[in-house]
Amino acid sequence: MIASSHSYPVAYPSAASAQPAAPEVALLTLRHRANWQGDKIKLPHYLIPGLGARIDEAVGQLVASLTRKFGAEVQLAWAAESTNIPGTSRPLRVIRTVAPGHQAVCDVNLYATGGDLCVRIDSLPRTRIVYLRRVIYLSAFLLLFALGYCFFLNGTSQYESLARDYAHKLAVDGNDVIVFDRITGNLGAPRWSYLDFFRSDPSNFLLTIGKVPFLLTALIAGLLILIPADWFRFACDWMGYPRPDKFRAAVNTHNTAVANTMDQMLLDFYGIDRSGTRPIA
């Protein structure tokens, strides 16, 4: 373990003796919002003693290393959501397009803290799979809700019970039967619809059958949660999207490749391996 630069200075080999000089870093600034909850894997966060003053040189060497290793397979940019100040903070964004609309994104954030260099690597994947899943679940919910509610209203004795309840409330001088026959259309008048019940007495209608949608919502939500996640792959195949497991593997591979490239750059250019760093939260 290399001690902090506050204890004693650490000498690193010069850039010229290890690698060709890093090119000037001129990148676009891109804004990005992740929407994929991938595996709960903690990516490297660590402190490199004594390297804070060379932050711009380090990010330049990282850009050069990533370009040599991946070429056009990745896009490099500055992260618009983070502060980008030369000599202080350099948020490098590494983007790999797994498929159109599906991106594995890894941010390598470099911060100069005193004389030390802080490195934080974060994963920010984004994919249309998330929206496809929402559409499918919402469509399934609405379909099941409509079928269930229609069955409740028309396939049970709910209509007759509701008609008797309204007849009792609307009857004058105890003529419940006459009002019931009028509501159900037995006296030649049009049969009441559920909308007629609502118009006649909204509060009674909602108190009588209004609780059903809440119970039906809870039931359908429970059924959807029990559906295995594997079935979703068929929807992805139909849409031409990568399957969730394939996208998850691509994200993990991308994150690992970026972290390994950072490690290799530190070793080749500065002679530092991971044992020469201090892990941070």
At 111-131, the pLDDT tens digits run 999 899 999 999 999 999 999
Report the pLDDT value the prediction gives residue 218, as an integer from 0 to 100.
81
CA 226 distance to own-chain centroid: 21
CA distance 162 to 186: 16
CA atoms within 13 A on the CB side of 156: 11
pLDDT tens profile 191-244: 888 788 888 888 877 777 767 777 778 888 888 877 776 688 889 999 999 999
Q: What is the largest CA-CA distance in the chain?
A: 106
Report the pLDDT value the prediction gives residue 107, as an integer from 0 to 100.
97
Residue from 44, 10, 38, 53 nearest 272 by CA: 10
Report the pLDDT value the prediction gives residue 5, as an integer from 0 to 100.
37
Query: Which tops the pLDDT comparison, 138 or 264?
Result: 264
CA distance 173 to 179: 11
The top-level CATH class assigned to 15-127+243-273 is alpha beta
Dihedral sign for Cα atoms in the order 201, 203, 207, 210: positive
Supply the mean pLDDT for the chain: 84
Report the pLDDT value the prediction gives residue 24, as an integer from 0 to 100.
61
**Residue 85 carries which DSSP code?**
B
pLDDT tens profile 82-114: 999 999 999 999 999 999 999 999 999 999 998
Report the pLDDT value the prediction gives residue 12, as an integer from 0 to 100.
44
Report the pLDDT value the prediction gives residue 125, as an integer from 0 to 100.
96
Report the pLDDT value the prediction gives residue 25, as an integer from 0 to 100.
72
Report the pLDDT value the prediction gives residue 238, as an integer from 0 to 100.
92
Q: Which ranges constitute the DSSP H helices of 176-210? A: 176-183, 194-200, 202-209
Tell me the domain boundaries of the chain.
15-127+243-273, 130-239
Report the pLDDT value the prediction gives residue 257, as an integer from 0 to 100.
97
Q: Is the pLDDT of residue 18 over 80?
A: no
Polymer length in residues for the chain = 281
CA-to-CA dists, residue 210 to 153, 206, 207, 264, angstroms: 12, 4, 6, 64
CA distance 103 to 126: 5
Least confident of 6-15, 34-43, 87-96: 6-15
Q: Is the pLDDT of residue 44 over 60?
A: yes
CA distance 90 to 87: 8
Q: Is 121 helix (H, G, I), strand (E, B) or coil?
A: strand
pTM of the model: 0.75
**Residue 54 carries which DSSP code?**
G
CA 209 distance to own-chain centroid: 37
Report the pLDDT value the prediction gives residue 19, as an integer from 0 to 100.
43
Range among 37-51, 117-131, 181-195 with highest mean pLDDT value: 117-131
Backbone angles phi, psi at 50, to 5 degrees: 80, 0
